[in-house]
Amino acid sequence: EVSSEEFSRRHLSFQRATIRHTYLNSFSTETQSAKYGINQFSDLSQEEFRDLYLGAVYERAPLFSGLSVKE
Amino acid sequence: LPDKFDWRDKAAVAPVQDQQACGSCWAFSVVGAIQSVHAIGGSQLEQLSVQQVVDCSYQNAGCNGGSTTRALNWLKQTRMKLVTQSEYPYKAKTEICHFFSQSHSGVAIKNFTTHDFSGQEKAMMGQLVQYGPLVAIVDAVSWQDYLGGIIQHHCSSQWSNHAILIVGYDTTGDIPYWIVQNSWGTRWGNEGYVYIKIGGNICGIADSVAAVFL
């Protein structure tokens, strides 16, 4: 049960997702390539998705030198 | 290095979990690596508490996000023992840190390494085989729409925003790929897993990679 305002918002996010899918799938030329389409996140805007699910903070790491500490 | 390697084949990877609407991916990836390395060391595979890390890793922001490096550093410095998931269950919201007595059993880390493996993904494969599943940070913006298959496009490096657990790789087919466990439940992707092309630092998978030692 959602308000008509929220329903409209979710519907718009869903429509935008389908447009995104067409673009993303246009690169999938090989059988093993990634496929993009409707899933549990399709009625979220990209901003909502980032805010809710992408919670990692990147911290720069030193380049791997190829040598272990012992070496 | 073997052509393909998967820690799931060695019963060292716990089932896919669902972080729900909580930005706790950083805690799931860190705890996932610890419980795997614990199992690789000969202990029984058991799910450890993600909620403990979410609540108690004070330098991070719980469900509002966090850094895997800061979480590992906190675990190393404090020698905090992670209790089991059943003793400290996941709530998908940040709560007050619950402390356990020093005598309470749990798993603590001794050390960890974090490196940038960009341009050196073969060396990263070596680390995976040698030390166990690896914690990594990726750009997962396009993963909102992912259904399955090997990701080769639509991801950037150096714009990482999501923490995951690399559990294996497969180089036997036309496109070599990393096998990555995500924390968005089994309904997403390949039963909760995502495959990422090896080489080219796709999604920034090699930008910041951590191995843990118990």
Q: What is B55-95 written as a DSSP string?
A: HH-TTS-GGG-B-HHHHHHHHHHH-PPB-BTTTS---SS--
- For the question of residue B162 being annotated catalytic, the response is yes
DSSP 8-state symbol, A62: P
On whether any CB of chain A is under 8 Å from the CB of B35, the answer is: no
Give yes or no for a contact between B192 and B164, defined as CB atoms under 8 angstroms apart. Answer: no
On whether any CB of chain A is under 8 Å from the CB of B214, the answer is: no
Burial of B77 (0-12, 13-18, 19+ CB in 10 A): exposed
A:B CB pairs within 8 Å: 149
DSSP 8-state symbol, A31: T
Show residues of chain B in contact with A53, CB under 8 Å. 19, 21, 23, 25, 140, 144, 162, 184
Q: Where are the beta strands (DSSP E) in A1-71?
A: 35-36
Quote the CA–CA distance of B187 and B31 in Å, as a whole number: 21
- Paired strand residues for B137: B163
pLDDT at residue A29 is higher than 90: no
Interaxial angle between packed helices B68-78 and B25-40, expressed in degrees from 0 to 180 and rounded to the nearest 10: 50
- Cβ-count burial B135-151 (b if 16+ within 10 Å, e if not): bbbbbbbbbbbbebbbb
Q: Which residue has the tokens 């950037």?
A: B156
Interchain proximity B175–A32, CB inside 8 Å: yes
What pLDDT digit, counting tens, does each position of A31-64 carry? 899 999 999 999 999 999 999 999 999 999 999 9
- For the question of residue B182 being annotated catalytic, the response is yes
pLDDT at residue A22 is higher than 60: yes
Show residues of chain A in contact with B145, CB under 8 Å. 17, 20-21, 24, 36-37, 39, 41-42
pLDDT at A70: 54
pLDDT at B63: 97
pLDDT at residue B36 is higher than 70: yes
**What is the percent of chain B with per-residue pLDDT over 90, rounded to a whole number?**
96
Which residue in B49, B32, B61 sits closest to B163, CA to CA?
B32
DSSP 8-state symbol, A23: H
Interchain proximity A56–B21, CB inside 8 Å: no
The per-residue pLDDT of chain B, averaged, comes to 96
pLDDT at residue B76 is higher than 60: yes
Quote the CA–CA distance of B187 and B178 in Å, as a whole number: 20
Q: Where are the beta strands (DSSP E) in B33-176?
A: 111-115, 134-138, 146-148, 150-151, 162-170
What is the amino acid identity at position B97? C
Which residue in A38, A12, A15 sits closest to B147, CA to CA?
A38
Helix H or strand E encompassing B210: strand B209-213
Which residue in B201, B207, B206, B136 sits closest to B167, CA to CA?
B136
**What is the percent of chain B with per-residue pLDDT over 70, rounded to a whole number?**
100
DSSP 8-state symbol, A43: T
Q: What value of ipTM does the predicted structure carry?
A: 0.91
- Paired strand residues for B111: B213
On whether any CB of chain A is under 8 Å from the CB of B154, the answer is: yes
Give yes or no for a contact between B74 and B112, defined as CB atoms under 8 angstroms apart. Answer: no
Using CB atoms, which residue from B23, B123, B188 is nearest to A52? Answer: B23
pLDDT at A2: 78
Band of the pLDDT at A68, cuts 50, 70, 90? low
The Cα of B103 is separated from the nearest Cα of chain A by a number of Å equal to: 32
Quote the CA–CA distance of B19 and A67 in Å, as a whole number: 36
Interchain proximity A57–B162, CB inside 8 Å: no
Give yes or no for a contact between B7 and B37, defined as CB atoms under 8 angstroms apart. Answer: no
